[in-house]
Amino acid sequence: MKVSHYTVHSPRTISEALNILKDGAARPIAGGTDVMVQIKDDLVKETELLNLSYIMDLNYIRDDGDFIRVGALTTYSDLIRSRLVNEYSPVLVEAARTVGAVQIQNRGTLAGNVGNASPAGDGLPPLFATGAKVKLQSEASEREVDIGDYFLGVRKTVRQPNELITEVSVRKMKPGDYYFFKKIGLRSANAISLVSVAAVLVPAEVLTFKEARIAMGAVAPTVIRAKSAEAAILNCQLTDEKMKEVGRLASEEAHPITDIRATAEYRKQAIAGAVYEGLYEIVNGFRSPVNGSSV
Amino acid sequence: MEIEVSFVLNGKRVTVKAPPAKSLLRVLREDLDITSPKPGCEAGECGACTVLLDGKAVTSCLVMISQVQDREIWTDEGLVKDGQLDPIQKAIAEEGGSQCGYCTPGFVMSAKALLNSNPHPTEKEIVESISGNICRCGAYPRLVQAIKKVANE
Ligand SMILES: Cc1cc2nc3c(=O)[nH]c(=O)nc-3n(C[C@H](O)[C@H](O)[C@H](O)COP(=O)(O)OP(=O)(O)OC[C@H]3O[C@@H](n4cnc5c(N)ncnc54)[C@H](O)[C@@H]3O)c2cc1C
């Protein structure tokens, strides 16, 4: 489709946007870092675009008790710069820093990463590992969906065409929590993840953990939790042997595909290594826990 | 269908008519005669079309013209004052940070964004700031050297 075939709506308020989206015909566009590429590749079948970039009410990072509320226009650069996010969701900051390069971080939004619903989205594993919620608003209704229930498959989600993602709520990590985000790509900038993993570990005593959440990217049609690997971490000493076993368990839960970037076997080995490396860094003192009061 | 969009380009207000989903890159080049931003991949990966949008480095191929109403855009053209190159443009020329030259305007704008917000960056910050720009002639060490030179002035 030629670029001249698209109509663009540019509302200034959320309610105008929801009204435009009423019949579900328009495709939302925030930073456009996915949509503009899809337009170029002729993958956007909608002829109407809903440009969110002038809706100032969607651009915020708010402290709300146990959650940080992130508006749909908030970019990776905004997250990286935010004191609040650095304090209470450093795992999200660590992931945001690996997205694209500066130019992409300046435009790309967290909500757009959710909206794009790629299993390789780097913003997503931290949302699974911390327990985030996605707010969906339509003209008639509003609901919040747990991130674990949001994705149905590659580019398939529970979002209805008349709904807009208005906010992503990120659950705050607690002081003392350990975390890591690992991404393996073909180069460090502007590279899609071959595999990625985010983890949050809640300590019981010194370096033993009573809670663990590990979320893996690009190893299944959606981001998935590595439940048996999580269970294996709890209430035990993380010896080198143990950490290798946890990596192995995570790898067994991964069901990656072979594509032009890597084989399934490579991805399975890579995820085991990434999990081991993250744990190794924690156990050997290369990572500090969440501080929570001063960063 | 075309829409009218008005924004500040290199310090001057301009108004342009264009299809609303057309990229800022294509509008700058085809409708406003601003040709320093280069079409490379036109998928955000090569950085040759980098411009400043409200002070931040962005790839203009991924920005819709409909998204820049009343925004401020700077390109290499705007950095030249009274025929004098900007210090970063001058440093890249002097350090030999440009061979075929296709990527150079993009590097200039990425470096400019860095130096505006962080006048004395570390080497790591310099490298990160240009990691979204690709130079197939491989002038990276000279580009880093040029940015350092301005940072140390
Ligand atoms: C060069 C390059 C490098 C990249 N590197 C990475 C990377 O390292 N890691 C990574 O994860 N991604 C990467 N991406 C992909 C992209 O930058 C991210 O997915 C980004 O988060 C998308 O955000 P956006 O605001 O630009 O989304 P857009 O392109 O505006 O939208 C993306 C999708 O979400 C939908 N959408 C957007 N906002 C909403 C909303 N509020 N409600 C409902 N639907 C919505 C759109 O309709 C579209 O389907 C890269 C892209 C490029 C071009």
Quote the number of domains for chain B.
Answer: 2
Whether residue A294 is predicted with pLDDT greater than 50 in this model: the reply is: no
Flag whether pLDDT at B153 surpasses 90: no
State yes or no: pLDDT of A279 exceeds 60. Answer: yes
Domain containing B31 equals 3-75
Residues with CB under 6 A from ligand 1: A 27-35, 37, 52, 72, 99-100, 104, 107-109, 111-113, 115-116, 121-123, 164-165, 190; B 43-45
Contacts with A101 from chain B: Cβ below 8 Å:
47, 128, 131-133
Task: Give me the helix-helix angle, A264-283 and A240-253, nearest 10°.
Answer: 150
Is a pLDDT exceeding 50 seen at residue A205?
yes
Task: Look up the CATH number of the domain holding residue A213.
Answer: 3.30.390.50
Nearest alpha carbon to residue B54 among A106, A28, A75, A12: A106
Write down the ipTM of this complex. Answer: 0.98
* Residues A143 and A81 reside in one and the same domain: yes
pLDDT digits (tens, 9 = 90+) for A223-269: 999 999 999 999 999 999 999 999 999 999 999 999 999 999 999 99
A159/A55 same-domain check:
yes
Model pLDDT, residue A207 = 85
Same domain as A264, residue A192: yes
- To probe the interface with B, which of A36, A105, A188 has the most B CB atoms within 10 Å? A36
Q: Is the pLDDT of residue A111 over 50?
A: yes
Query: Which of A173, A195, A219 corresponds to the end of one domain?
Result: A173
Residues in chain B with CB shorter than 8 Å from the CB of A102 are: 57, 110, 113, 128-129, 131-132
Q: Please report, for residues A67, A111, A180, A283, B34, the alpha-carbon distance to residue A116 in angstroms, rounded to integers and kept in the order given.
A: 23, 8, 23, 35, 32
Give nearest CA residue, ligand 1 atom 38. Answer: A112
Contact B23 A33 (CB under 8 A): no
| Same domain as A61, residue A127 | yes
Are residue B114 and residue B142 in the same domain, yes or no? yes
Q: How would residue A2 be classed by pLDDT, with cut points 50, 70 and 90?
A: confident
CA dist A260 to A188, A194, A265, B97, Å? 18, 10, 13, 33
- Identify which of A51, A103, A104 has the shortest CB distance to residue B64: A51
What's this model's pTM, rounded to 2 decimal places? 0.97
**How much is the average pLDDT of A41-53?**
97
What average pLDDT score do residues A41-60 get? Answer: 97
Q: Terminus-to-terminus CA distance in chain B, angstroms?
A: 49
With respect to residue B80, please indicate whether it lies within any of the assigned structural domains: no
pLDDT for res A206: 86
Q: Token pair 């997205």 is at which residue?
A: A99
CATH classification of the domain holding B144: 1.10.150.120
For chain B, give percent helix, strand, coil, nearest 5.
40, 20, 40
Query: Mean of the per-residue pLDDT values for chain A?
Result: 96
- Number of structural domains found in chain A: 2
Mean predicted confidence (pLDDT) in A170-197: 96
* Partner B contacted by A188 (CB < 8 A): yes
∠ CA A33-A38-A44, nearest 5°, is 125
Element of type H or E holding A93 = helix A90-96
* Pick among B3, B30, B67 to test the A interface (most A CBs inside 10 A): B67
Whichever domain contains A148, its CATH number is: 3.30.465.10
For the record, the structure tokens of A138 come out as 């339509």
> Which residues form the domain of A228?
178-292
Which residue has 């081991």 as its token pair? A276
A115-174 residue pLDDT tens: 999 999 999 999 999 999 999 999 999 999 999 999 999 999 999 999 999 999 999 999
CA-closest candidate to residue B71, choices A138, A53, A205? A53
Interface check for A107 against chain B (CB to CB < 8 A): the answer is: yes
Distance to chain A for B52, nearest Cα, Å: 10
Looking at the predicted structure, is the pLDDT value of residue A292 above 80? no
By CA distance, what is A1's nearest residue in B?
B21
Mean of pLDDT values over A88-96: 98
Instruction: Tell me what the mean pLDDT of segment A82-105 comes to.
Output: 98
In a domain, B82, yes or no: no
